[in-house]
Amino acid sequence: MQRQILKNRNKIALISGILIAIAFLSKWTMGNMHIFEWALIIASILGAAPIAIQAYQALRVKVVSIDVLVTIAVFGAFLIGNFEESAIVTFLFLFGAYLEQRTLNKTRSAIKELTEMAPETALKLMENGEFEEVDVDEVDVGDVLLVKTGAKVPVDGTVLSGEGSVNEASITGESIPVAKEKGSNVYAGTILDNGTIQIVADRVGEDTTFGKIIELVEEAQDSKSEAERFIDRFAKYYTPAVLVLSFIVWLISRNVELAITILVLGCPGALVIGVPVSNVAGIGNGARHGVLLKGSEVIGDFSRLNTMVFDKTGTLTMGNPSVAETEYYGDNIEEALGYLASIERESDHPLAKAVLEKIGETTFSPVENTEVIKGEGIVAAVNGHRVAVGNVALMEREQVELDEKARADIARFEKNGNSLVLTAVDGQLKILMGVSDQIRPGVKEDLQRLKKLGVRNLIMLSGDNQGTVDAVSRALGLTEAHGNMLPEDKAAYIKKLIEEEGRIVAFVGDGVNDSPSLASAHIGIAMGSGTDVAIETSDVVLMNSDFGRLPHALGLAKATARNMKQNIFIAVGVVLVLLTSLIFSDWMNMSIGMLVHEGSILAVILNGMRLLRYRLPRRYA
Domain assignments of the chain as residue spans, ordered by start: 2-108+220-278+561-613, 120-154+156-203, 291-318+439-545, 322-436
Which architecture does CATH list for 120-154+156-203? Distorted Sandwich (2.70)
pLDDT in tens, 112-133: 555 566 678 889 999 888 899 8
CA pair distance 179, 197, nearest whole angstrom: 11
| Calpha distance 237→263 (Å, rounded) | 14
Contact 620, 293 (CB under 8 A): no
Going by pLDDT thresholds of 50, 70 and 90, the confidence category of residue 339 is very high
Helix/strand/coil for 588: coil
More confident residue, 81 or 483: 483
Can 120-154+156-203 and 322-436 be said to share one CATH topology? no
Selected residue with higher pLDDT from 43 and 519: 43
pLDDT tens string 556-594: 999 998 998 898 888 888 888 888 888 777 777 777 877
Residues of the chain with pLDDT > 90: what percent?
21
pLDDT at 173: 47
Highest mean pLDDT among 252-256, 312-316, 544-548, 605-609: 605-609
Distance CA 432, CA 440 (A): 26
CATH-assigned architecture of domain 291-318+439-545:
3-Layer(aba) Sandwich (3.40)
- Rounded Cα gap, residues 50 and 54, in angstroms: 6
Q: Any idea which of 169-183, 331-345, 541-555 has the lowest mean pLDDT?
A: 169-183
Bridge partners (DSSP) of residue 326 are 433
Superfamily of domain 322-436: Calcium-transporting ATPase, cytoplasmic domain N (3.40.1110.10)
Residue range 84-103: mean pLDDT, rounded: 73
261-301 pLDDT tens trace? 777 777 666 777 777 778 878 888 887 888 888 777 788 88
Side-chain-side CA neighbours of 563 within 13 Å: the count stands at: 30
Rounded-to-integer distance, Cα 18 and Cα 44, Å: 12
For the chain, the maximum distance between any two Cα atoms, rounded to a whole number of angstroms, is: 115
Instruction: Write down the pLDDT at residue 389.
Output: 93
Query: Which residues participate in catalysis according to the annotation?
Result: 311
CA distance 135 to 144: 14
The letter for the amino acid at 68 is V
Give the pLDDT of residue 117. Answer: 62
- Asked whether residue 388 carries a pLDDT value surpassing 80, the answer given is yes
Whether the Cβ atoms of residue 311 and residue 511 lie closer than 8 Å to each other: yes
- pLDDT tier at 218, thresholds 50, 70, 90: low
